């Protein structure tokens, strides 16, 4: 074998290893997106469940209960295409109902209300974090998928292009004021 042929083979093997490593990295990023999406879904479900539980507890006034229940129910039942909108509407309903600290204090005063208010505060606080983790994973995968080598060699396979989860996740001021450290 000639030295030129050996160097060409070494170069091809090096390129193949690099492409294989890149494909593995992309696969790990897609797995991370799936894991963070499952975590986000769990936090969104928890927030909707706690809001629905509070709405049906009889602690809130009837109008606030109806608004909160309908938004939480819509968020839990939303199809994937409408999920971001439904979750944003639940955030808006939570801000409308718990915008003032008097409503939060009314919940805290009833038996078991302190625990319910704490659980709602934690659920509302965890949603933005879970969404941030998911969107960071999506951003990393998108950045890698934009590289020419990934597109030219089709290293992403048939995986769908990752989409960020965009929603209004601002917490009600009365709940964020007394959020646990």
Q: Which residues contact 129 (CB under 8 A, 6 or more apart)?
A: 43
pLDDT category at 59 given cuts 50, 70, 90 is confident
What 3-state DSSP class applies to 59?
Answer: coil
pLDDT at 74: 97
pLDDT digits (tens, 9 = 90+) for 4-58: 999 999 999 999 999 999 999 999 999 999 999 999 999 999 999 999 999 998 8
- The three-class DSSP label of residue 108 is helix
CA gap 104, 174 in Å, rounded: 7
Q: What is the pLDDT of residues 65-100, one digit of tens each?
A: 999 999 999 999 999 999 999 999 999 999 999 988
Residues 6+ apart with CB under 8 A from 171: 94, 95, 124, 125, 128, 179
Q: 85 φ, ψ to 5°? A: -65, -45
Locate 58 and state its tokens: 């009889």
Q: Could you tell me the two tokens for 7? A: 């160097």
How is the chain split into domains, by residue range?
23-154
Inter-CA distances, 8 with 4, 33, 99, 164, 172, Å: 6, 37, 68, 42, 63
Which parts of 57-112 fold into alpha helices (H)? 62-77, 83-97, 101-109
pLDDT beyond 90 at 179: no
Give the separation between CA 113 and CA 56, rounded to whole angstroms: 13
For residue 178, the model assigns a pLDDT of: 52
Per DSSP, helices labelled H in the chain are 3-56, 62-77, 83-97, 101-109, 113-145, 148-152, 173-177
């Amino acid at each position: 074998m000639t030295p030129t042929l050996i160097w060409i083979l070494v170069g091809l093997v090096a390129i193949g290893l690099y492409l294989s490593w890149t494909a593995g990295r992309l696969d790990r990023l897609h797995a991370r997106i799936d894991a963070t999406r499952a975590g986000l879904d769990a936090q969104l479900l928890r927030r909707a469940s706690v809001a629905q539980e509070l709405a049906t507890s009889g602690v809130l006034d009837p109008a606030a209960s109806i608004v909160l229940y309908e938004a939480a129910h819509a968020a839990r039942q939303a199809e994937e295409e409408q999920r971001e909108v439904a979750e944003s509407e639940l955030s808006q309903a939570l801000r409308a109902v718990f915008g003032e600290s008097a409503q939060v204090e009314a919940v805290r005063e009833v038996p078991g209300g302190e625990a319910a208010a704490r659980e709602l505060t934690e659920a509302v606080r965890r949603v933005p974090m879970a969404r941030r983790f998911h969107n960071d994973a999506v951003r990393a995968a998108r950045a890698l998928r934009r590289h020419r080598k990934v597109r030219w060699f089709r290293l992403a396979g048939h995986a769908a292009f990752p989409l960020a989860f965009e929603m209004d996740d601002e917490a009600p001021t009365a709940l964020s004021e007394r959020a646990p450290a």
